[in-house]
Amino acid sequence: MRIVFIGPPGAGKGTQCKRLASHLEIPHLSTGEMLRDTPRGSELAELVSSYIDAGQLAPDELVMPIVIDRLADEDCAQGCLFDGFPRTVNQAEMLDRFLGERDDQLNLVLHLDVNVDELVGRLLKRAEVENRVDDTKETIAARLAVFREQTAPVLDYYAREGRVEKIDGMRSPDDVFSQIVQAVDARRSS
Ligand code: AMP
């Protein structure tokens, strides 16, 4: 199964994706993690951090090759879970084209829906625990704006083809996970 997971920063995407990937035994492809893993000290790493630290999206030309390279790995042959990708309609179109050329496709798009006021509080808490450079008040505001302006249209793009299942992200983590499993099981048996 190929699943895309979309939700604003702080919605609990990372946690739920890890759990779902291990439940389905498919690889978890987090573009945020892949970008953060760019070897330090290189020019590329500096370029990547300039976007991440400002809460802005890295350019599609930088993100697409990383994803496409990873998809060529054998463990991705039977499926994968995309976390934080696609984040622009252009990325979504490129992914569809790439998969389509291989007679492959996305099976499901999960939209983790959370109230924005709740998100700011959660992100500030995460900043204390994880010490992420992109969890400052200013960067959080920038990342939420990026989500609204560039990533929310991706949901409209997928919704046109009936691929989106909305998950209520305001419930407890266990509750959220059981909604996700239900949506996946329903899609698998349809
Ligand atoms: P995340 O860990 O998913 O919250 O991503 C952290 C940061 O990595 C984002 O704020 C962006 O700067 C960058 N990033 C992650 N995924 C993408 C993507 N698909 N396209 C562009 N930039 C991305």
pLDDT at 171: 93
pLDDT tens for each residue of 151-170: 999 999 999 989 999 999 99
Answer yes or no: are the C-beta atoms of 52 and 35 closer than 8 Å.
Answer: yes
pLDDT at 129: 81
Confidence band, pLDDT 50/70/90 cuts, at residue 118: confident
> Which residue lies with its CA nearest to atom 11 of ligand 1?
57
Report the percentage of the chain scoring pLDDT > 90: 76
Q: What single DSSP character describes residue 74?
A: G
Report d(CA 188, CA 19) in Å as an integer. Answer: 18
User: How many other β-carbons are positioned within 10 Å of the β-carbon of residue 128?
Assistant: 9
Is 102 one of the catalytic residues?
no
Measured in residues, the chain has a length of 190
Residue tagged active-site, from 18, 36, 70, 132: 132
Residue 31 neighbours by CB under 8 Å, 6+ apart: 63, 66, 67, 82, 83, 84, 85, 87
Is 36 one of the catalytic residues?
no
Its pTM stands at 0.92
pLDDT tens for each residue of 58-74: 999 999 999 999 999 99
Sheet holding 2-6, edge to edge: 28-30, 80-83, 2-6, 108-113, 164-168
CA of 146 to the centre of ligand 1 (A): 10
Confidence band, pLDDT 50/70/90 cuts, at residue 21: very high
> Which residue lies with its CA nearest to atom 14 of ligand 1?
32
Is 13 one of the catalytic residues?
yes
